[in-house]
Amino acid sequence: MNVVIIDYGAGNIQSIRFALARLGITATLSDDVAIIKNALHVIFPGVGEASSAMEKLRATGLDKLLPTLTQPVLGICLGMQLMCNNTAEGKTKGLGIFDTDVVRFETKLNVPHMGWNTVSGKGVLFQNIDQNSHFYMVHSFYAVPNEDMVGACTYGVSFAAALAKDNFFGTQFHPEKSGAVGASLLQNFLAL
């Protein structure tokens, strides 16, 4: 299976590779436009800061490429946030794939939101996954609930834990760090 993880200097790539390897998939790490275009599935990872991550995408032209992809694309954490219209982190303009904005948690709870939390999900990503399964989160910003929301979570406020629109998918949580349910979600994505 031809799976490409986009290489743009964002963290968390090795844990994604290990999670895919546990599923029998050897993923290619690349920032090459031709390789990404020819992939069967694309994973857009992200751990880091939004404005510097977007600068790296612009420097390689990946900001123009990503919205034009026609194969299944999965954005994880910051990857999903950068697929939205805008993020308050660094006042960054996103890729505009998902029609929502990303804002900072304003809550009395500890920020960042870190650890396991339940997600109520629907649609193809959540097939054969129980409602309110626990997924692993690490984030200080969140996508505002919107019509593309297929997974909901609450941490002082309700937020979009998963998004889906056409061939684009995103998870605020880290499926690669979420044990068996995360592996199931990755398998569901790879089956598309």
Catalytic residues: 77, 174, 176
Sign of the alpha-carbon torsion through 108, 112, 113, 116: negative
CA distance 160 to 163: 7
How many Cα atoms within 13 Å fall on the side-chain side of residue 92?
25
Q: Cα dist. 156→131, 135, 176, 187 in Å?
A: 20, 17, 25, 30
CA distance 190 to 129: 15
**Close Cβ partners of 20 (under 8 Å, ≥ 6 residues apart):** 3, 26, 27, 176, 186
Token pair in block for residue 16: 């994604």
The one-letter amino acid at 50:
A
